[in-house]
Amino acid sequence: MSDLGLTDFFLTGLITYGPPMLGLALLLGGLGLPLPGTLFLLATGAFIRQGVMDWAATLGLGLFGVILGDSASYAMGRFAGDRVQRRFNRSTAWQTAQETFARRGGTAIYLTRFLLTPLAIPTNLIAGGSRYAFWRFLSYDVAGEVTWIAVYGGLGYLVGSQWELIGQFVSDFSGLLVGLVALGAGVYLLVRRQRQLPLRPRDRKPAAE
Amino acid sequence: MTIGLIVLGLILVGFFGLRAVVSFIRIQQTGLQPGVTDVEAIRGWMTIPYIATAYGVPEEYLFERLGIPAEDNRDKSLGQLNREYAFGQPAAILNAVKEAIRQYQREQPPATQVLP
Work out the pLDDT band at B3, boundaries 50, 70, 90: confident
Nearest residue of chain A to residue B22 (CA atoms):
A169
Searching chain B, which residue's CA lies closest to the CA of residue A53?
B50
* Cβ proximity of A8 and B44 under 8 Å: yes
B41 touches chain A (CB under 8 A): yes
Question: Does the beta carbon of B35 lie under 8 angstroms from any beta carbon of chain A?
Answer: yes
**How far lies A66's CA from each of A73, A110, B20, in Å?**
11, 14, 26
pLDDT of residue A161: 80
Cβ atoms < 10 Å from Cβ of A64: 14
Residue A98 is predicted with a pLDDT of: 75
**Is the four-CA dihedral A52, B38, A36, A39 of positive or negative sign?**
negative
Question: How many beta-carbon pairs below 8 A join chains A and B?
Answer: 150
Successive 10-residue mean pLDDT values, chain A, 209 residues? 73 95 95 91 93 93 97 92 70 73 89 90 90 94 96 92 84 90 90 74 52
**A6 shares contact with chain B (CB less than 8 Å):** no
**Whose CA is closest to A12, among A57, A52, A61, A49?**
A52
B17 and A CB contact within 8 Å:
yes
pLDDT of residue B32: 58
Task: Answer whether B47 sits within 8 Å of A169, measured CB to CB.
Answer: no
Structure ipTM: 0.78
- pLDDT tens for B55-74 read 889 999 999 999 999 999 99
Integer Cα distance of A162 and A154 in angstroms: 13
Residue type, A30: G
**Domain extents in chain B:** 1-32, 39-107
